[in-house]
Amino acid sequence: MARYNPKDVEPRWRAAWARDDVFRARNDDPRPKYYVLEMFPYPSGRIHMGHVRNYAMGDVVARYRRAQGYAVLHPMGWDAFGMPAENAAMERGVHPKGWTYENIAAMREQLKLLGLSIDWSREFATCDPEYYGQQQAWFLKLLDRGLVYRKEATVNWDPVDMTVLANEQVIDGRGWRSGALVEKKKLTQWFLRITDYADDLIEGLGSLDRWPDKVRLMQENWIGRSRGLRFSFDFAGDAPNGFETGLEVYTTRPDTLFGASFVAIAPEHPLAAQMAAADPKVAAFVAECRRGGTSEAEIEAADKLGLDTGLRVVHPFVPGQTLPVWIANFILMDYGTGAVFGCPAHDQRDLDFARKYDLPVLPVVLPADADAATFMVGGDAYTGPGTIFRSGFMDGMSVEEAKAAAVDRIEGMGKGKGATVYRLRDWGVSRQRYWGCPIPVIHCPKCGVVPTPADQLPVILPDDVTFDRPGNPLLRHPTWRHTTCPRCSGEAERETDTLDTFVDSSWYFARFTNPESADPIDKAAADRWLPVDQYIGGVEHAVLHLLYARFVTRALKDEGMLSVSEPFAGLFTQGMVTHETYARQTGEWIEPTQVVLEAEGATRRATLAETGESLIIGDIEKMSKSKKNVVAPEEIFEQYGVDAARLFVMSDSPPERDVQWTTGGVEGAGRFVQRVWAEFDNDAAAATQTDARGDELRRMTHKTIKAVTESVEQFRFNSGIAKLYEFLNVLKGFQSSDGSVAEARSEALSVFARLIAPFTPHLAEACWSRIGGEGMIVDAAWPVFDPALAVDSEMVLPVQINGRRRSEIRVAQGAGEAEVREKALADETVSVHLEGLTVRKVIVVPGRIVNIVAG
């Protein structure tokens, strides 16, 4: 018997799959389709364990569906534009293009080692002109439809990457890549009108029943729909210039209008700007507000600041009552109208502000158990339900009734309208970077913004650029941006901004259906394959990529290029690969490969291999270079084999949860691979008769088929793998030398090989070949579960007395309740425990349990 040598066996099977081109998906394949996709990687140059886990999971699904007879599309590509390539260019003087394609080549080789069932013929990178040129084509169609526009806006400026960031890319006031504090800057930028689809994007979530609730909720919160009232206050006395129709505010609490004691506007509000121009005191205040940062800590610490403008507005419901207009630092210009009315009694921010500046606090919502005469608001605003009081026509109404009544009244007065407001902003897609898809428009001094004519696409990035200075290389290229206007043939300039790389990844799944198409999307191919049946990736894209992709899919559908609204019918968000960290007493991180671990009972010790120096065992964290807790996949493949690595990252934790990489764990997986092979290699078929022992094995076989199938269907790979371990342990007890089980055993081996094939495909091929399976296992059908063969003839029922397990009885399958009851009461151990007690009740749950209630 030879030891199984993955280094020898695995490459052979990969070569065999490639030789037969087994994973190529054909658009004219008549079988039902199944599209499996994992979020495509950024070509950093090296794969890491996170990739191994992500792509192994997708491969399990793809191979399982293939075995079930689906026409499976499982493609791979590269999310290849972006900052790291430019950083490399600046740091090491390499060209982003060369750097990127070299990384792709290196990573492709590493990914291929994984033995994934990928159709490599469809591979592309988003930085291929054939891809981004098509992106430019649909971008111009959206421009034509008015879904793309240009405006001056205050944007998030990352001073390190020297580019604009979308709101989604600002985390706690810092750039998501650079970590630099983001600044506010006014720039003319390109936007995609995602807000046009805000409602539809929320509605659509309802149909995504195979998405995690968490992600749907995050998207819903991100879009942030709120219903309220938009209305205008008239000014008392002369209205400022441009505000003749009043000061417009937005509120979700029109029911509290009688409790209003001030109106506040944002420091960036046009009215504030106008007053600042005339009054240095106002100007100074506005400047002070602008200084505050936007990070969490700064907002937490920031005091409410306000300045009374001296202007007053008229209360819409109370004749003669006026309210002061303040400029306040806590009002956001880009939400609602940038102005609110303050009702301190029922809003905490308004209350804090009112207490600071000594403004009236007027309760108008009375909690159920409070007394109207004595109810007061102290330091906490009351935001709960209740009855409206001190509010004229709304008195006695509930909060909800009053909201509707106030909206009706304001609408009747012609002062405003019920309105829906979203937190979601339009998607700013301009990036002042080189390594991205050029925005295909031309700026003509006479004609304005002119789309690049279709026959001049793609607008290709020039290769001859320099990175010796920060900023956008396209802007300082000597010739690239100079062109002629397609309309008037006069001198004109190309747009030098490039598109946010999230645009690239918002439609690649559609391009995979026919990457060769002369149009952006081959509609027939897209109709054939979309939506993606199972999409797999990290939860960090819950609101970025996944929201953008849903939006672009809708926009392209409205353009007639796609038929689906939702690109991903099923979504799975997988957890990360983590590793324990080790550090010297000095705090210096130490790589796992240099650490020796020992255990004494429950105590674990780590020492430095070289010196024996005692190390600190730190937290378990996501593998990262900075903590030095990374394990290189290639070294693991070399040492234990690809299958062992794939098996381990899926076996130890539920797929949605983080998995902790341990040497012991992967060694265990490697041992299992060896034991599986030994079991197959040992097998020598003998006689073929089957008896009770054979039936017992057959029952186990069919129970395992059921369990593993369900595990794969429900993304519980860890449980499925555990069942396979168990199956192997049982199988060992049924050797072919025991002639009576030979037939059942050969069925068991055949089933085992096919069940494990999605997880450890190389090993499965070797086993299949060893038992003389027909063809390759990639083409073998998934085993079929036969319930009749899984039924035990006898079963063991636990017997409880007063809910405590005391004994167990053996009964025939399907035994009647009376028989079970009788047998339970007759049981010897049961009688002992029942001594001195009276049986009051016996509960028999068929096939489950017996509980005797006695006292």
Site for RNA in 768-797 (CB under 7 A): 796
- Its sign, for the CA torsion 586, 590, 596, 601, is positive
Residues 339-398 that bind RNA (CB under 7 A): 340, 347-349
Residues 150-189 that bind RNA (CB under 7 A): 167, 171
User: Does 474 sit near RNA (CB under 7 A)?
Assistant: no
User: Does 418 sit near RNA (CB under 7 A)?
Assistant: no
Q: Which residue has the tokens 């806006």?
A: 153
Opening angle at CA 832, ends 827 and 836, nearest 5: 125
User: Does 230 sit near RNA (CB under 7 A)?
Assistant: no
Of the listed pieces 97-105, 117-125, 192-200, 288-296, which binds RNA according to CB under 7 A?
288-296
User: Does 706 sit near RNA (CB under 7 A)?
Assistant: no
Give CA–CA dist 510/734, Å, rounded. Answer: 50
User: Does 634 sit near RNA (CB under 7 A)?
Assistant: no
What are the DSSP calls for 512-573, one per residue?
A: TT-TT-SSSS-HHHHHHHPSBSEEEEEGGGTTTHHHHHHHHHHHHHHTTS-S-S-SBSBEEE
Least Å distance between CB 704 and RNA? Answer: 11
Q: Where are the beta strands (DSSP E) in 452-490?
A: 482-484
Give CA–CA dist 756/771, Å, rounded. Answer: 15
Give CA–CA dist 692/57, Å, rounded. Answer: 38
Whichever of 16 and 854 has its CB closer to RNA, that residue is: 854
Residue 613 burial (CB count, 10 A): 12
- Which member of 621, 726, 738, 822 binds RNA (CB under 7 A)? 726
User: Does 602 sit near RNA (CB under 7 A)?
Assistant: yes
Helix (H) or strand (E) holding 387: strand 387-388
User: Does 242 sit near RNA (CB under 7 A)?
Assistant: no
Least Å distance between CB 559 and RNA? Answer: 29
- Which member of 94, 218, 450, 686 binds RNA (CB under 7 A)? 218
Those residues whose C-beta lies under 8 Å from the C-beta of residue 167, and which sit 6 or more positions away, are: 156, 425, 428
- Which member of 609, 791, 826, 845 binds RNA (CB under 7 A)? 845
User: Does 719 sit near RNA (CB under 7 A)?
Assistant: yes
Q: What are phi and psi of 449, to 5 degrees?
A: -80, 120
Whichever of 456 and 802 has its CB closer to RNA, that residue is: 802
Least Å distance between CB 549 and RNA? Answer: 17
Residue type, 103: N
User: Does 639 sit near RNA (CB under 7 A)?
Assistant: no
Least Å distance between CB 215 and RNA? Answer: 10
Within 68-128, where are the H helices? 83-92, 96-113
Give CA–CA dist 810/725, Å, rounded. Answer: 27
Whichever of 689 and 802 has its CB closer to RNA, that residue is: 802
User: Does 839 sit near RNA (CB under 7 A)?
Assistant: no
User: Does 739 sit near RNA (CB under 7 A)?
Assistant: no
Helix (H) or strand (E) holding 203: helix 198-205
Give CA–CA dist 566/71, Å, rounded. Answer: 21
Give CA–CA dist 94/552, Å, rounded. Answer: 33
Whichever of 316 and 336 has its CB closer to RNA, that residue is: 336
Of the listed pieces 142-150, 189-197, 484-492, 671-679, which binds RNA according to CB under 7 A?
671-679
Residues binding RNA: what is the number (CB under 7 A)?
89
- Which member of 105, 217, 449, 596 binds RNA (CB under 7 A)? 217
User: Does 753 sit near RNA (CB under 7 A)?
Assistant: no
Whichever of 174 and 754 has its CB closer to RNA, that residue is: 174
The CA-atom distances, in angstroms, between 166 and each of 158, 335, 500 are 10, 16, 9
Give me the residues paired with residue 313 across strands. 235, 323
CA proximity to 784, closest of 755, 823, 744, 817: 755
User: Does 673 sit near RNA (CB under 7 A)?
Assistant: no
The DSSP bridge pattern shows strands 322-328 and 262-265 to be: parallel
- Which member of 44, 226, 517, 594 binds RNA (CB under 7 A)? 226
Least Å distance between CB 737 and RNA? Answer: 15
Least Å distance between CB 228 and RNA? Answer: 5
User: Does 18 sit near RNA (CB under 7 A)?
Assistant: no
Q: Which residue has the tokens 């693991």?
A: 636
Whichever of 517 and 800 has its CB closer to RNA, that residue is: 800
User: Does 198 sit near RNA (CB under 7 A)?
Assistant: no
Mask for 248-267, x = binds RNA (CB under 7 A): --xxxx------------x-
Instruction: Determine contact, residues 187/155, Cβ cutoff 8 Å.
Output: yes
- Which member of 177, 443, 557, 675 binds RNA (CB under 7 A)? 675
Whichever of 149 and 725 has its CB closer to RNA, that residue is: 725
| Tokens (6 digits) for 9 | 């066996």
Whichever of 473 and 720 has its CB closer to RNA, that residue is: 720
- Which member of 149, 317, 335, 389 binds RNA (CB under 7 A)? 335
User: Does 684 sit near RNA (CB under 7 A)?
Assistant: no
Residue type, 634: E
User: Does 517 sit near RNA (CB under 7 A)?
Assistant: no
Give CA–CA dist 464/478, Å, rounded. Answer: 10
Residue 656 DSSP symbol: T
Whichever of 644 and 744 has its CB closer to RNA, that residue is: 644
Q: Which residue has the tokens 């990070």?
A: 295
User: Does 200 sit near RNA (CB under 7 A)?
Assistant: no
Least Å distance between CB 614 and RNA? Answer: 18
CA proximity to 825, closest of 838, 812, 846: 838
- Which member of 377, 632, 685, 849 binds RNA (CB under 7 A)? 849
User: Does 12 sit near RNA (CB under 7 A)?
Assistant: no
Least Å distance between CB 498 and RNA? Answer: 24
Residue 427 DSSP symbol: E
Least Å distance between CB 742 and RNA? Answer: 20
User: Does 745 sit near RNA (CB under 7 A)?
Assistant: no
Residues 304-323 that bind RNA (CB under 7 A): 304-305
Give CA–CA dist 668/333, Å, rounded. Answer: 58
Of the listed pieces 84-92, 214-222, 275-283, 763-771, which binds RNA according to CB under 7 A?
214-222
Give CA–CA dist 610/449, Å, rounded. Answer: 66
Instruction: Determine contact, residues 165/202, Cβ cutoff 8 Å.
Output: no
- Which member of 109, 732, 786, 793 binds RNA (CB under 7 A)? 732
CA proximity to 809, closest of 793, 825, 832, 790: 825
Q: Which residues of 662-689 are buried (b: 16+ CB within 10 A; e: fewer)?
A: bbebbebbbebbbebbbbbbebeebeee
Residue 632 burial (CB count, 10 A): 15
Least Å distance between CB 92 and RNA? Answer: 31
- Which member of 106, 160, 202, 302 binds RNA (CB under 7 A)? 302
| Tokens (6 digits) for 154 | 């205050």
Give CA–CA dist 343/376, Å, rounded. Answer: 14
Residue 162 burial (CB count, 10 A): 17
Whichever of 240 and 668 has its CB closer to RNA, that residue is: 668
Residues 538-567 that bind RNA (CB under 7 A): 539-540, 542-543
Of the listed pieces 392-400, 513-521, 535-543, 820-828, which binds RNA according to CB under 7 A?
535-543
- Which member of 43, 50, 75, 228 binds RNA (CB under 7 A)? 228
- Which member of 12, 657, 810, 814 binds RNA (CB under 7 A)? 657
Q: What are phi and psi of 360, to 5 degrees?
A: -60, 145
- Which member of 398, 718, 735, 769 binds RNA (CB under 7 A)? 718
User: Does 725 sit near RNA (CB under 7 A)?
Assistant: yes
- Which member of 96, 316, 336, 458 binds RNA (CB under 7 A)? 336
